[in-house]
Structure 1
Amino acid sequence: MVSSVVSSVVYVIFPVLLAIGLVRKYREYKWGKCKDFRSLHGKVFIVTGANSGIGKETAKGLALRQARVILACRDLVNANNVITEIRRTVSTGELIPMKLDLASLSSVHAFADDVIKDFPEIHTLINNAGVSIPLKKNKKTENGFEINFGVNHLGHFVLTNRLLPKLKESAPSRVIIVSSTLHEKGVIDFDNLYGEKGWDFKQRMNPAYANSKLANAYFGLELAKRLEGTGVDVFTVCPGFCYTKLFRHADLKWWKYVLFFPIAFFYLRSAKQGSQTILHCAVADLPGMSGRFFRDCKPYMSKHEFKPEISTKLWDVSEKLTLRV
C-alpha cells in the first residue's frame, strides 16, 4: 500500500509540479530582462518612489551600472534604510536621498528647485512612484485632488515640467513614465477628471487608479510630441503585475488571497523582475522609439484607442489645475 502511494507521488504528482514549474519559468523568460550593463558613470538619474518595490530595484540596477541616482522619496528615513540595504550587495554608483512628496505640489516645487540648483545635469527622470488607494477611503492630496490622480499623474506632471529645461540642457536625456496595462480599463472624463462629481463605488477595481494610469499614458504621448527634436526621449512603461506594496490599501479578505494564489503563481512578478523594462528603457539604445509604450522589454501595442485631442486637452487641463495651487 505504501509503495503504491509513493509510486503515485513519483509518477503523477511530481510530473505535474514539474510542468507547472516549467510554465512559470517560461513566463519569466517572456517577461524579458535588461541585458545592457554599460557603464553609466557620470550620468544622473532621478527615481521617484525609490524607497521600496520597483523603485528600489531600479535604483539598485542603476547603481550597479555606476550611475549617480537620486532617490526621490517621501520619507528620508526609509530612503536611507534602502541605501544601507543596497550597499550590502552593490558598492558602485552614488545613491543620493532627497525628499519628495508627490501629494504636495509645494514639495514637488521644492524638490525641483534643489535639483536644479545642485545638479548641473540630469540625464534621466524616472517617474515611478504611485499609489492605489480605494475610493471609499476618500483620500486627497494636500492640494485637494483625488489621491490616485493627484499623485500618479499631477505630481509627476509638475515635476517633469519643472525639470524639462535641465533635461534639455543635458540632452541626450530621457523621461520614463511608469504606467500600467490597466490604462486600457481607464477613462479620461473631463467632466469628472479627479472625482469632483463623485464615483461609482460598486466597481470591483479601483477606477481612479486605472484612470490615472491612462493619464500617464496620454502624458507620455503628448510629452514625446512636444519634445520632438530636443534630444529628450520619452518612454512609457508597464512593469507588469508585481508583488510590491502598491496595493497595500486594498483591504482584501484572507480568502481572496487564497483564491488569488494560483493566478499569482503564474502572473505575479518580483519587484526586480518588474524593474527590468524600466531599466531597459533607461539604458538601452532605442533610436526612433520615443513616445512608445513598453512592456516585457519590448514595444507594446495598447488596446486603448488613443486620441490626440485628448492628450492635448489633458495637458492643458493639468497645467491649469496645477498653476492655480
Structure 2
Amino acid sequence: MPLNILGTILLEGTDKVPGWDYAKKYGPLLLTAGLTKFYFGGSTNTWERDLHGKVYLVTGGTSGIGASLVRELANRGAQLVLLSSQLNEDGSGGAWITDYIDDLRNDTGNQLIYAEHCDLSSLYSIRKFATTWLDQSPPRRLDGILCLAAEAAPIGKVRESSIDGVERQMAINYLGHFHLLTLLEPSLKVQLADRDVRILLASCMSQSIGEIDLNDLLWDERKYPANQPWKVYGTSKLMLSMFAKEYQRRLDSFQRKDGEPNNTKINVVNPGLVRTPSMRRILSMGSIWGLLLYLILYPFWWFVLKSGEQGMQSFLFALNSPEFLKLHGGNYVKECSIVKKEQRSELNNKELQAALFDKTKKVVEILEKRSAIERNRLKKQNGDKSKKKEVKNKALSSNAQIPETDKLSLFKSAFKNQHDPALLSRLSQDQEEKKNERLRSLDRKLEASKKFTSQK
C-alpha cells in the first residue's frame, strides 16, 4: 500500500492521492505532536542483565515508578522483598498488599516476591526490620536496595509529622532511607566479593531548590513553607544525594577480610516528571476540586508527563549497565546516562557531606532514645491498666471475697424502690404480702452471704 501511494505521487502527482489535502493540512500537526510526545517520554534503557537468583529490597514498590519497576524485575526472575507499612508488625493483615503480591506472582510467574513490614516514617519500625534481616544466619544474599518511596506534600496543607515528630517529607524521603541503609551496612559488607551490589536512590529536579541548614537539619525550627512545600521536598532529595556520596566513601574505606575492594555502588537516579500518585497529589493540591481539575486536564498531563514504564527506564539503566562496574558510586543518572557535572556546589563539598552524615546520625540517636522512652511509658501505662483489670476480674470470680462495699450494696438492693417507713401502717393487704416476700428474700440473701463467708 505505501509503495502504491509513493508510485502515484512520483508518476501522477499528489493530486491523485485520495485524502492528500487532509494529509497536507493535518499531517504536520500530528507529526509534531507525535515527536513532542516521544521527546517527553524520555530515553529508553537498552541494557539487559540476567536477574535470576538476585535479591533486591524495594521501598515504594506498590505504586508509581516502583510498581512498574517491580513488575519488570519480577518478569526477569529477580527475588523481591517489598518493604511496606501496610502490613501489621507481626506480618499479619494487609489484605491489599497480600492481593497485590498474589496478582504480581500470577502475572509474572515469579513466586519469589514477598512483603515485609517496614514503615519508613517510624525509626523503630525500620530498626525492627533491619534487626530481623541481620539476625538471619548465614547472612542473606543481597544484590541491591531500591529506594523508591517518597512523600510529597501538596500546596497549602499544614505541616504533617511522622510518629517521631519529624516533618513527613524529611522523615520518609531522607531520614527513613538514611536509617535503613546505615542499619543494613553489615549485610552490605559481608556480600561475596564477586557480587555486584547496587543501591539506587530516587531523586528529582527539585533538589536544585533545596536548602541545607546543619543547625536545623529536619526543618524543625524554620517556619514550614505551606505555600512552597517543594522546598522541603527538594531539601530532602538534595540531602539524600549528599548522603549517597558520603556513604559511598565510607563503604569504600572499609577493609574486607578477603582483601577485596568494596563491591557496593550507590547511585542517585532522576526519573524525570512521571504520572505518579505523588505527582497527582501535588497537581491536585490535595483537594477534591483540584482532583477534578486534574482529571479534566488529564489529556495534557498524559501528553507531557512520563508513564511509570517510561519513568523506570533510568533505574533499569542503573541496574543493568556494566558501565557502573568500572565507576565509583555516587553518580547522578538521568535519561539513561550519567550526568558528569553536578548542579549544586554541596554535591562537590566532601566536608559538608561528612558533617551532614554525622549530624544526621546524632539526630537519629536522639529520636530513637526519645521514641524508646515514650514506648516504655505507654507500655507501663497499659500494663497498669491491665493489672487493675485483672484484679477486678479476680474480685468478681467465685473464689474471691466480697468487699464490704459490695456486701452493703447487696443489702441495700433489698430496699430499692421501697415506701417510706412512715407509710407502712397504711399498707393494703396486697402490699403487706409483697413486703413480707421482700423480707423473706432479704433473709435468703443474708443466709447465702453467711454461707459464703464460712466457706472461706
TM-score past 0.5 threshold: yes
Alpha-carbon distance between aligned partners in 2 of 1:266 and 1:103, rounded to the nearest angstrom:
33
Residue 357 of structure 2 corresponds to: 315
What's the Cα RMSD here? 2.5
- Flag the structure with larger Rg: 2
Q: Per-residue deviation at 1:55?
A: 1.3
Residue among 288, 291, 303 paired with 2:343 = 303
Residue 56 of structure 2 corresponds to: 45
Residue among 312, 315, 327 paired with 1:278 = 315
Counterpart of 1:302 in structure 2: which amino acid?
A: E
Residue 222 of structure 1 corresponds to: 246
Q: Per-residue deviation at 1:79?
A: 2.8
2:247 corresponds to 1:234: no
Q: Per-residue deviation at 1:8?
A: 7.5
Q: Per-residue deviation at 1:205?
A: 5.1
2:193 corresponds to 1:193: no
Alpha-carbon distance between aligned partners in 1 of 2:52 and 2:292, rounded to the nearest angstrom:
48
Q: Per-residue deviation at 1:272?
A: 1.6
Residue aligned with 2:277, SS: coil
Residue among 134, 159, 170 paired with 1:149 = 170
Q: Per-residue deviation at 1:256?
A: 6.1
* Structure 1 residues 35 and 321: CA distance shift in structure 2, 3 A: same
Residue 184 of structure 1 corresponds to: 208
2:28 corresponds to 1:15: yes
Counterpart of 2:144 in structure 1: which amino acid?
A: T
Residue among 107, 121, 124 paired with 1:103 = 121
Aligned residue pairs: how many? 318
Stretch of structure 1 that moved more, 206-215 or 36-45: 36-45
Residue 136 of structure 1 corresponds to: 157
Identify the structure with bigger relative contact order (alpha carbons < 8 Å, sequence gap 6+): 1
- Which has the larger helix fraction? 2
Stretch of structure 1 that moved more, 79-88 or 125-134: 79-88
* Structure 1 residues 284 and 103: CA distance shift in structure 2, 3 A: same
Alpha-carbon distance between aligned partners in 2 of 1:50 and 1:255, rounded to the nearest angstrom:
27
Q: Per-residue deviation at 1:164?
A: 1.2
Residue aligned with 1:89, SS: helix
Counterpart of 1:268 in structure 2: which amino acid?
A: L
Alpha-carbon distance between aligned partners in 2 of 1:154 and 1:254, rounded to the nearest angstrom:
30
Residue 163 of structure 1 corresponds to: 184
Render the CA deviation track for 1:246-289: whole Å, top value 9, x for unaligned. 13543433686489768635531111211121122123211214
2:78 corresponds to 1:58: no
Unaligned ranges ≥5, structure 2: 1-18, 88-93, 253-260, 369-456
Contact 2:210-2:236 within 8 A present in 1 as well: yes
* Structure 1 residues 110 and 167: CA distance shift in structure 2, 3 A: same
Render the CA deviation track for 1:186-228: whole Å, top value 9, x for unaligned. 1111233222123363754521101101011111111111122
2:285 corresponds to 1:246: no
Residue among 141, 150, 163 paired with 1:121 = 141
Residue aligned with 1:176, SS: strand
Q: Per-residue deviation at 1:21?
A: 1.3
Q: Give % identity.
A: 26
TM-score by length of 2: 0.64
Alpha-carbon distance between aligned partners in 1 of 2:216 and 2:293, rounded to the nearest angstrom:
31
Residue 330 of structure 2 corresponds to: 291
TM-score by length of 1: 0.88
Alpha-carbon distance between aligned partners in 2 of 1:200 and 1:107, rounded to the nearest angstrom:
26
Q: Per-residue deviation at 1:143?
A: 0.8
Alpha-carbon distance between aligned partners in 2 of 1:37 and 1:290, rounded to the nearest angstrom:
20
Counterpart of 2:29 in structure 1: which amino acid?
A: V
Alpha-carbon distance between aligned partners in 2 of 1:260 and 1:195, rounded to the nearest angstrom:
34
Contact 1:153-1:212 within 8 A present in 2 as well: yes
